[in-house]
Amino acid sequence: MSLRQPLKNHHQEQRLFLTRVVIVAIGVVLLFGVLAVRMGLLQVVGHSHFATLSQNNRVRLEVLPPPRGLIYDRHGRLLAENRPAYQLEVIPEQVDDMDDTLERLSRIIPLSDVEIRRFRSLLERKRAFQSVPLKLNLDEDALADFAVNRHRFPGVDVHARVARHYPQGAVMAHVVGYVGRINERELAEVDADRYAGTTHIGKTGVERHYESVLHGEPGYQKVEVNAQGRVLRVLERHPPRPGRDLVLGIDVRLQRVAQEALSGHAGAVVAMDPHSGEVLAMVSLPGFDPNRFVHGISFSAYDALRTDRRQPLFNRALSGQYPPGSTLKPVIALAGLEHEVIRAGEVMHTHGYYTLPNHSRRYRDWKNHGAVDMDKAITQSSDVYFYDLGHELGIDRLSGFLARFGLGKRTGIDSTGERPGILPSREWKQATHDQPWYPGETLITAIGQGYMLTTPMQMASVAATLATRGERVQPRLLRRYADPDGGSAHPLHPVPLTEVELNDPGNWAPVLESMEHVVHQRNGTAHGAIGSDLGYRMAGKTGTSQVFSLADGEEYDAEELAFYLRDHALFIGFAPAKDPRIAVAVVVEHGGSGGAVAAPVARRVMDAYLLEEAS
Amino acid sequence: MYDAAAGEEGAAGRLLQRLLGLDLLLAAGLLLVLALGFVVLYSASGGNPDMLYRQGLRAALGLTVMLVLARFPHPHLCQGSPWIYFLVVLSLLAVMFFGQVSNGAQRWLDLGLFRFQPSELMKLAMPMMLAWYFAERPLPPRPRELAVAGVILAVPVVLIARQPDLGTALLVAGSGLVVIFLAGIRWRILMGLAAAGLAMVPLLWHFMHDYQRQRVLTLLNPESDPLGAGYHIIQSKIAIGSGGVYGKGWLNGTQSQLEFLPERSTDFIFAVFAEEFGLFGVLVLLALYLFIILRGLVIAVRAQDTYARLLAGSLSCTFFIYVFVNMGMVSGLLPVVGVPLPLVSYGGTSMVTLMAAFGMLMSIQSHRRLLAR
């Protein structure tokens, strides 16, 4: 007991408490009395009234689930539709011997143990007259086989239900995502009334992000039932309101071109309209067939997908984080010009490696470039030039400038699984590694290596920002809503992000020009692979990002390296250079050289968009 | 009153009580209600083995928690009260910022392995905190202390109501107000506050969510919402009324078995019970609940320190509020606020918190004797 409150009178307090408890107890008894009276009124006085109502209670509400909104590409090609799926159902009370029926049935239509187990557990919960699904998603052969033998199986019949179908299959898997059976966790997160009759819910991608829009509002019908609960007729019907149809900015044709261009490599391609932010293609390879998830994928098949070393379920375009490598150099050069650390024409003499003052470690270049100015440094991708630039800028200014391009943050695209990448900074390193920043780390950050990680989507966004000279918009998959009434046919407005405004807007030109040289000048790193016969002007930058680092003095020999330790090949670019309409980022995992492997992928996509668009 | 209760307990009972910290009377009441709950759930779920199994797991978990807490000396509980309270308030804030949105409401905190609902814990933390606060101060409380208690009460209630979870906010507020009442708030102040509260009703209406307003309107005119809560009330009144004095018999309630009655295994399970067991069954159930509540109040009166008294009193009253609000809403006396029938309704995290509360009550009862010797 504290000294300042010595006045506690225990005896008096106990009496006070007793009084209060007695009052509470009286209150409790009285209110229970109210309940008892209420029940008496309902059950004794009102009994005959309610008994009649109960007798005549032949009207039941049934929920009508809404049809899910469809998804189209920008040219109206279906990406997700609702198709009738045929399933085998059994009405228990019409079957004499269930075991025998199942046994004979399995000779015609193969039934797995899982299907039979699920059927038996459903059987226990349903009433004898209710149809119980036995096998979902019958194919045409099974349908035909059953039709011939149908007379032998009283009580067994085929019913059509609506199921989601993805006509483009694996091509759009990572864009559209897929729906699957609602699990308990998801059920707890949605409005139970809205999902009363719904069996499937968006799990990934657009299907998940726009779930609330795609789902629609359920309707209901009043049905008359007999005393056993069998439906006799429909009295009143309030139809459901279908979910809204979505039109994506994706072009299926472009998507296919990008996929073919990657020719079997694992990797990602993102193409977007730099002005609207509409994503024109978003490919992640390897892919998977989303249709397998709709009808409930088996554990073994899911496990095989999940543990596949090539990670087909992983959306590299949004979740894959790669060192951007040299593709970051145009932005670093801009930072140098902006902070007046370099000038475009200034020449630096390089010797194939760089050392920090008072340090012995040599930071190597991929070749000795000799005398280098900014244009040559970008065109031929000199590392030493950027080591020096990075050193002069310092990590704080470097990191601050890169942040203005949105690096280290999610782009906010309307899909699932996007990751933010890593934009290293002094504070970041202190927070995550509990270590100070070392000057050498600034050097490797300046060539897009080290801690730096970006997603292909972020790199496409960087390319778009360069293309628009600083205007930034949020990348977006949804182009517009397609309402059945024809309303709101206009594309949605772009979502503007903070613009990159330079102190001297004149600094854009030399950097963008150098990016054109990368493609069109004889010694540009992408010229050999794509520059000689282009039908338009393209600006780009190649990159090769190290998967693991070599010790000082070791030589890189692609032949000798295990495949999965080989460098990633990267490319970012936009075209036409003077009036950009498409910005592209390409990552080819373990592809080796960015110029030789990644740049041709970007070119094929741009060709398809710019040259074949009319056709 | 004291001696009568003590005399009923035999030698074996006293041994059990000493060893396990069990209060046999309370335990008997709880087990009877739980058993009755399973009987109703069997009927309401259509004999679904899955649901019965899960409910069994929850009951087992609840009983375990109860047994553990019954062994736990309540003076330690007292010392821990403010910490527990602040932790729960913090997790309520966490819910507000990082919680999972479900059903238009943000209640869950995802801890990776499992999700939990901090608002549920507040039903225990609130009476503990207020009992701790008043325990060391002279009673009846002075206005300044009442103001502090008011803040302790209001912060979590507002946080929970904003989630929005009106049912839980109501129960938490109730559990706190009971402590203040039992602490001996003067009638003059109480009346003044009540008057002020009434004056606030229009303001409250202004801040309610649309669906909450709808529920109040639905109560006044069930026909206005035939698909939602109105349909619930209409069907549940038919179920109760048609049960009559003796009921339609177990598994024979047409309202529930033919699926006219929505949410028949969760919030509206009382209607199934009333339909199948009639007024007779209802009165038995009411008597059982009343017995548990009064036993709780007896434990409160016999407790030897202020903390134990206030906590025991408040927990018993919260249990009462549960019962009253649920039965009131199912029978159409109160708006539908989503409060389950304690120990009977299927699911919900409430089973575990309720059993934890009874564990505390038993700890207060059994440790009283130990302290006395």
pLDDT for residue A487: 53
The answer to whether A39 contacts B240, with C-beta atoms less than 8 Å apart, is yes
Task: Provide the residue type at A255 as one letter.
Answer: Q
A484 pLDDT exceeds 80? no
The answer to whether B282 contacts A39, with C-beta atoms less than 8 Å apart, is yes
CA–CA min distance B12, chain A (Å): 30
Chain B residues with CB under 8 Å of A182 CB are none
Residue B45: closest CA among chain A residues belongs to which residue? A125
Average pLDDT of the residues in A215-226: 81
pLDDT band at A207 (very low <50, low <70, confident <90, very high): very high
Pairs of residues, one from chain A and one from chain B, whose beta carbons lie less than 8 Å apart: 156
DSSP string, B196-254: HHHHHHHHHHHHS-HHHHHHHHHHH-GGG-TTTHHHHHHHHHHHHHHHTTT-S-TT--H
Q: In this predicted structure, which of A89-103, A333-347, A386-400 has the lowest mean pLDDT?
A: A89-103
Which of A23, A30, A54, A230 would you mutate first to test chain B, the one with the most B CBs within 10 A?
A54
- Backbone phi and psi for residue A401, each to the nearest 5 degrees, phi listed first: -70, -40
- Whether A236 has its CB under 8 Å from any CB of chain B: the answer is no
A291 pLDDT exceeds 80? yes
A124 pLDDT exceeds 90? no
Which residue in the set B46, B49, B242 is minimally distant from A54, CB to CB?
B242
Alpha carbon distance, N-terminus to C-terminus of chain A: 90
Bridge-partner residues for B102, per DSSP?
B105
ipTM: 0.90
Mean pLDDT per block of 10 residues along chain B (373 residues) reads 47 68 88 94 84 89 91 86 93 79 55 64 93 88 90 92 80 92 89 86 76 69 62 86 90 76 85 93 96 95 90 94 93 83 84 91 79 46
**Are residues B262 and B343 in contact, defined by beta-carbon separation less than 8 angstroms?**
no
- Whether A191 has its CB under 8 Å from any CB of chain B: the answer is yes
Burial B307-332 (b: 16+ CB within 10 A, else e): bbbbbbbbbbbbbbbbbbbbbbbbbb
**Are residues A477 and A347 in contact, defined by beta-carbon separation less than 8 angstroms?**
no
**Are residues A557 and A580 in contact, defined by beta-carbon separation less than 8 angstroms?**
no
CA–CA min distance A236, chain B (Å): 13
The answer to whether B301 contacts A18, with C-beta atoms less than 8 Å apart, is yes
The answer to whether B138 contacts A38, with C-beta atoms less than 8 Å apart, is no
CA–CA min distance A30, chain B (Å): 11
CA–CA min distance A197, chain B (Å): 14
A176 pLDDT exceeds 90? yes
Report domain A252-610's class.
alpha beta
A7 pLDDT exceeds 70? no
Report domain A58-82+160-248's class.
alpha beta
pLDDT for residue B287: 96
Which of A35, A52, A123, A130 would you mutate first to test chain B, the one with the most B CBs within 10 A?
A35
Chain A residues with CB under 8 Å of B260 CB are 57, 60
Average pLDDT of the residues in A530-557: 74
Burial A118-145 (b: 16+ CB within 10 A, else e): bbeeeeeeebeebbbbbbbebeeebeee
By three-state DSSP, how is residue A537 classified?
Answer: coil
Residue A238: closest CA among chain B residues belongs to which residue? B227
The answer to whether A17 contacts B245, with C-beta atoms less than 8 Å apart, is no
Chain A residues with CB under 8 Å of B139 CB are 8, 13, 16-17
Chain A residues with CB under 8 Å of B136 CB are 1-2, 5
The answer to whether A42 contacts B240, with C-beta atoms less than 8 Å apart, is yes
The answer to whether A42 contacts B178, with C-beta atoms less than 8 Å apart, is no
CA A3 to chain centre: 63
Dist. CA B276–CA B253, nearest whole Å: 5
- Whether A36 has its CB under 8 Å from any CB of chain B: the answer is yes
CA A592 to chain centre: 27
Bridge-partner residues for A158, per DSSP?
A88
pLDDT for residue A135: 83
- Whether A220 has its CB under 8 Å from any CB of chain B: the answer is yes
The answer to whether A16 contacts B139, with C-beta atoms less than 8 Å apart, is yes
Chain A residues with CB under 8 Å of B368 CB are none
The answer to whether B260 contacts A60, with C-beta atoms less than 8 Å apart, is yes
Question: Percent of chain A having pLDDT more than 70?
Answer: 91
Q: In this predicted structure, which of A67-81, A474-488, A555-569, B79-93 has the lowest mean pLDDT?
A: A555-569
Chain A residues with CB under 8 Å of B278 CB are 43
Chain A residues with CB under 8 Å of B104 CB are 191
**Are residues A539 and A519 in contact, defined by beta-carbon separation less than 8 angstroms?**
yes
pLDDT band at A615 (very low <50, low <70, confident <90, very high): very low
> Which residues are within 8 A (CB) of A138 and not within 5 positions of it... i.e. 6 or more apart?
A85, A86, A87, A88, A109, A146, A158
Chain B residues with CB under 8 Å of A20 CB are 181-182, 184, 313
Q: State if pTM tops 0.90.
A: no
The answer to whether A21 contacts B297, with C-beta atoms less than 8 Å apart, is yes
Q: Which helix (H) or strand (E) holds B332?
A: none
The answer to whether B49 contacts A191, with C-beta atoms less than 8 Å apart, is no
- A522 CB-side CA count, 13 A: 0
Which residue in the set B46, B103, B237 is minimally distant from A192, CB to CB?
B103
User: Please, where in chain A does CATH 3.90.1310.10 lie?
Assistant: 58-82+160-248
Helix axes B49-71, B350-372, angle to 10 degrees: 30
Which residue in the set B140, B231, B255 is minimally distant from A16, CB to CB?
B140
Average pLDDT of the residues in A56-69: 79
Which residue in the set B138, B227, B259 is minimally distant from A229, CB to CB?
B259
Structure tokens of A195?
Answer: 């999902």
Chain B residues with CB under 8 Å of A9 CB are 138
Dist. CA A475–CA A468, nearest whole Å: 14
The answer to whether A20 contacts B317, with C-beta atoms less than 8 Å apart, is no
CA–CA min distance B19, chain A (Å): 29
Which of B107, B114, B139 would you mutate first to test chain A, the one with the most A CBs within 10 A?
B139
Residue A124: closest CA among chain B residues belongs to which residue? B48
Which residue in the set A21, A35, A60 is minimally distant from B300, CB to CB?
A21
B341: left (phi over 0), alpha (psi -120 to 50) or beta: beta
The tens digit of pLDDT for each residue in A16-34 reads: 899 999 999 999 999 999 9
Which residue in the set A8, A38, A43 is minimally distant from B138, CB to CB?
A8
Chain B residues with CB under 8 Å of A61 CB are 227, 231
Chain A residues with CB under 8 Å of B237 CB are 42, 50
CA–CA min distance A228, chain B (Å): 7
CA–CA min distance B154, chain A (Å): 22
**Are residues A387 and A363 in contact, defined by beta-carbon separation less than 8 angstroms?**
yes
Dist. CA A192–CA B79, nearest whole Å: 41
**Active-site residue numbers of A?**
326
Please classify residue A604 by burial: count the beta carbons closer than 10 Å to its beta carbon, then call 0-12 exposed, 13-18 middle and 19+ buried: buried
Dist. CA A399–CA A335, nearest whole Å: 10
pLDDT for residue A567: 84
A55 pLDDT exceeds 80? no
A276 pLDDT exceeds 70? yes
CA–CA min distance A59, chain B (Å): 8
From residue A8, alpha-carbon distances to A383, A576, B78, B180, B372 in Å are 80, 86, 18, 17, 20
